[in-house]
Homo-oligomer: A and B are copies of this chain.
Amino acid sequence: MISLQDCRSRDGADTLAPLRHLFNLPEGMIYLDGNSLGALPSAVPHRVAQVVAEQWGRDLIGSWNTAGWFDLPRRVGDRIAPLIGAGAGEVVATDTTSVNLYKVLSAALNLVEQAEDEAGGARGTRGTRGTRGTRRTIVSERSNFPTDLYIAEALSRERGWNLRLIEPHEVHTSLGPEVGVLMLSHVNYRSGAMHDMAGITAAAHAAGVLVVWDLCHSAGAVPVELTQADADFAVGCGYKYLNGGPGAPAFAWVHPRHVARCWQPLAGWWSHARPFAFTPGYEPAMDITRYQCGTQPIISLSALDCALDVFTEADKLGGMPALRTKSLALTDLFIELVEAHCPGQFELVTPREHAQRGSQVCLTPTHSLPAGCAYAIVQALIARGIVGDFRAGDAQQPDILRFGFTPLYLSYENVAMAAQGLQEVLANEEYAQPRFNRKQAVT
């Protein structure tokens, strides 16, 4: 059995260990919730103060040019691009994941409808809804992050499409001739299960289906190769593994083969070919700029820009491949320790196979523990400074304890201490204490 001393030795040999010093982490806290909100990079407070006092306060409107505010969504996009296997000029950091999903999913629907119009010889005018094509179904997973489903439901209703929800194992068999778009999260927010992006994309394309990937739990956490996988569209989050701060702008990527071929309906002035010509008529930009809409929150976007410096440092130490190796070592270790110290008390929800695992570990209590104790276990851990989170179950899925492992700032010792804390919470039956059973709004 691996000891605390062994873990400390592994930390001593961890070439990524210096990255931890690029973050301001609260003293004594083991933060296993970076998959919900990434920790604060140490350089961000100064950058934000500078943006506020100098760019806004001193230079005012001139900063649109001198501080490059106007290009910031594309500059930040260019910094995210290598983390997701995309090229320069292909990513824009803007708006929220939900809004970006609405844009790219709309664009995907437009592409499908256009292709059918062209194939049918009936050159349809964009926006006419007269002819019904054969591919009018969006497929997604029932366990996808709900906002993705809500956006798809709204668009389906709006556009006369159907939304079909499936289970993870049904992805390949779901790709029938009525399906136009497959919309999946690469890594599931609850289970931490990761899809084979390249394999699924290839199967979808073979079936004539476009694929939209949600990278919220992937970007900065696991290697992503959008170009190599030949994906069509992707969106993702700036405030989880990219550490951009609460509600940091999200991002959108569109494969260059599609970007000028279809429009997206949130056609605000920032998506215009010449926004400062102030023409009354719309002319879409021919690149990823088309997926912008309105003026972006520069302070929050600057925090994200600064946070990405951490990945520049990580690149010098091996980049995403090295981070992935460490992430798997951390999650392997946590699984091993929990199974050793809490035998039979939890079932592993996250896949054991590396190829199917994101950067988190989810556990559900077995019947050896009192029913409904998952919430209180998480609260008892938080009281010990071990911060994970709880996700309530329903008819289809169990309650879970969710632990995110960010290799940028977590050590092997952290993992050992977290597993030990979990063991003690169970041994002391801390989950039975009333103070840990008072539910409050879950975030």
Contact = CB atoms under 8 A, between A and B. Distances in A.
Nearest to A125: B157
A334 interface: no
Given A48-B52, A128-B160, 17 more contacts: A33-B60, A33-B61, A40-B56, A61-B387, A64-B443, A95-B99, A129-B129, A129-B160, A147-B270, A150-B282, A151-B268, A158-B265, A247-B295, A247-B298, A278-B392, A297-B297, A299-B299
A147 B268 contact: yes
A248 B443 contact: no
A264 to B, nearest CB: 8
A278 to B, nearest CB: 5
Interface in A241-299: 245-250, 263, 265-272, 275-282, 293-299
A361 interface: no
Interface in A36-53: 36-37, 39-40, 44-45, 48-49, 52-53
The list of the 4 closest CB pairs from A to B, nearest first, reads: A96-B294, A98-B268, A297-B300, A98-B294
A127 B45 contact: no
B45 A295 contact: no
B146 A266 contact: no
B160 A127 contact: yes
Number of copies: 2
6 contacts: A45-B53, A98-B269, A98-B293, A146-B275, A149-B280, A247-B299
A45 B49 contact: yes
A154 B44 contact: no
Contacts of A265: 102, 154-155, 158
Interface residues of A, number: 96
A303 interface: yes
A217 to B, nearest CB: 14
Interface in A335-359: none
Interface string A135-155: 000000011111101110111
A58 interface: yes
A29 B239 CA distance: 37
